[in-house]
Structure 1
Amino acid sequence: MKRILSIMVMSVLLMSLFTIPAFAAEGGEPAVQEQQQVVNVAHRGASGHAPENTMAAFEKALEMKADYIEIDVQMTKDGELIAIHDTTVDRTTDGTGFVGDFTLEEIQQLDAGSWFSEEFAGEQIPTFEEIVDTYRGKVGLLIELKSPGLYPGIEEKVANVLMERNMHRPDNNKIIIQSFNHDSVQTSKQLLPNIPHGVLAGMSWADVTDEQLQEFAAYADYFNPNRNFVDKNLVERVHQAGMDIYAYTVREQEHADQLFEAGVDGIITDFPEYVYDFPGQK
């Protein structure tokens, strides 16, 4: 009888070793398997802390341990790839005019830091190659093809930069290419079939249907929408279509919290620190 009782006690103890992690910890903290990891994407670098799309912003994002830096890629008059968001240089430099009207030499003479703070005076607009060579292997790169209709052939140029560095292989899981121009996404996917691609979706896609999501999923791995129309239902439908969802752009903690609750896979933010306030994050 004692032997049977001992066996029963041992069985209970062994079962407890496997069942304890399923319960919430003291203080209401979520269990290990309930913790949610959200990919932290520094929007144009850590652009809440340094001038966007500059090496200073990308360096700050690396320092803050972001998972990815998001880069806006456009092309100069002489066919060089550079990082800048607007199609003109007016807002983020001391120059005026369209990006495509400048040669690389001309555009790198502009001050791309003083508008943000005198601390960053003299910061240059970097080339895409400079960014790739500096940060590959250190942080993920979310590459946005910006206004590609203005720059015929930009998809091929971006592809060439990556292929020359053997960054287009299936085992490279730290590169994503996205665009609001979905035709451009399809072109890029044909050139780089082993690199994940994403479709960016502004407010005009707030009523996206399941059929449209399935159409995107034929060539895209991500559906990356404006945060203002993201909810749990959308997240579930995107997942059902076989895609992940990274929402943009977070500039307030409460908006990051809302996206976390909705279950997004990634958050694109000017302030990487907002994403680290979630349970289970770094």
Structure 2
Amino acid sequence: MHARAAAATTTALLGAAVVVLPAPTAHAAPDTDRTQVIAHRGASAYAPENTLAAIDKADDLGFRWVENDVQRTKDGELVVIHDDSLTRTTDVEEVFPGRAPWKVKDFTAAEIARLDAGSWFSPRFAGARVPTLTQYMNRVSRNHQKLVLEIKNPALYPGIERETLKVLSNEGWLGPAHVRSKLVVQSFSADSIRAVHALRPDIKTGFLGTPPVAELPAYAQFADQINSSHTTISLGYVTAIHALEGPHGKPLEISTWTVDTAADARRVEGFGVDGVITNKPDVVREALNER
């Protein structure tokens, strides 16, 4: 996710009739742990973000929850990368020097698979690749991890919500066990999260941003979580979130981001947040365990 508050959009969604994908009847349930620690783009302080190495590092550190970002290639493949441009985290300018501005949507999956997505972080990770969502889900499954999946820049990729759900279904992630306790789909776009909720009402969803308290009831119709930057929340705001019920009849939740210091971790825990999204999950875990 990007460290900024999102502008909430509540425009009409899905003017055409929605075809709901087959869904089990079980509702998503909140986690029972005191405060979930979620590895942001994997353990991204220690390995290149959104790569398989980053989620493996989170696994090595003992963290079950990881977060990622999903976008779409020119030929329709879903890939795991944060920016809409390939320049910051790959060597695309060297491999394809004449292709500025090097947007994800302008490259095929095969072209992106050629890029080095690790050397920018450290020579130790040279040769790491931008994973497809399918590759990423296979690794998360192998590690027995859980996932907070962010649909990134959905306005650039019409239909990405349905396509993301299709990949998740193909990889066995939309069965009752996964939907109940292993998956959250989030976005800065209210319309995108409303689309996911319309297609699969059983899936737990999160809106990224800090809507005014007066608007929270509207978000609670389609979002189970309001996931805000830690710089924008207070005890009163968290209390207001918890006072509402989400679409599954459970108290609305909040996972806050991106918390990388012990002091900030202790501060937001004091507010009563349900989850902490962090590049340094080990630092946050140690801080929370001190109490």
Fold in common (TM above 0.5) = yes
Report deviation, 1:108: 0.9
Aligned with 2:204 (options 196, 202, 210): 196
Question: Following the alignment from structure 1 to structure 2, what is the Cα–Cα distance between the partners of residues 170 and 146?
Answer: 25
Q: Higher RCO, 1 or 2 (CA under 8 Å, sep at least 6)?
A: 2
SS of residue in 1 equivalent to 2:67: strand
* Residue 227 of structure 2 corresponds to residue 221 of structure 1: no
| Shift of residue 99, structure 1, vs aligned partner | 0.5
Q: How far apart in 2 are the matches of 1:279 and 1:146?
A: 29
Deviation at 1:280, TM superposition (A): 5.4
Do residues 110 (structure 1) and 115 (structure 2) align? yes
Alpha-carbon offset, residue 170 of structure 1: 3.7
Moved more, 47-56 or 229-238: 229-238
Percent of residue pairs identical = 39
Partners of 1:142 and 1:178 within 8 A in 2 = yes
- 2:261 aligned residue (252, 256, 261): 252
2:51 maps to which residue?
54
Runs of 4+ in 1 over 4 A off after TM superposition: 278-281
Q: Which amino acid aligns with 1:152?
A: P
More helix by share: 1
Q: Give me the whole-angstrom Cα distance separating, in 2, the residues matched to 1:134 and 1:267.
A: 22
1:76-130 Cα deviation digits (max 9, x unpaired): 0000000000000010011140000110010011110011000001110001011
When the two structures are superposed, what TM-score results if normalisation uses the length of structure 2? Answer: 0.79
Q: Kindly indicate whether residue 87 of structure 2 is the aligned counterpart of residue 90 of structure 1.
A: yes
Residue number in structure 2 paired with 1:44:
41
Q: Is it true that 1:235 corresponds to 2:238 in the alignment?
A: yes
User: Structure 1 length normalisation: TM-score?
Assistant: 0.82
Do structure 1's residue 164 and structure 2's residue 170 form an aligned pair? Answer: yes
CA distance in 2, matches of 1:209, 1:177: 22
Contact 1:93 1:112 in 2 (8 A): yes
Provide the residue aligned with 1:154 in structure 2. Answer: 160
> 3-state SS of the aligned residue for 2:68?
strand
> Which AA in structure 2 matches 1:144?
E
Query: After the TM superposition, which of the residue ranges 227-236 and 69-78 deviates more from structure 2?
Result: 227-236
Q: For 1:93 and 1:238, how far apart are their aligned partners in 2?
A: 38
- Higher mean displacement: 85-94 or 133-142: 133-142
Q: Please, which runs of 5 or more residues in structure 1 have no aligned partner?
A: 1-35
Please state whether the residue corresponding to 1:250 is helix, strand or coil: coil
Q: Counterparts of 2:50 and 2:171 in 1: how far apart (Å)?
A: 22
Amino acid at match of 1:119: R
- 8 A contact 1:189–1:219 mirrored in 2: yes
The superposition leaves residues 209-257 of structure 1 with CA deviations (integer Å, 9 ceiling, x where unpaired) of 3331111110000000011012211111110112110000112222112
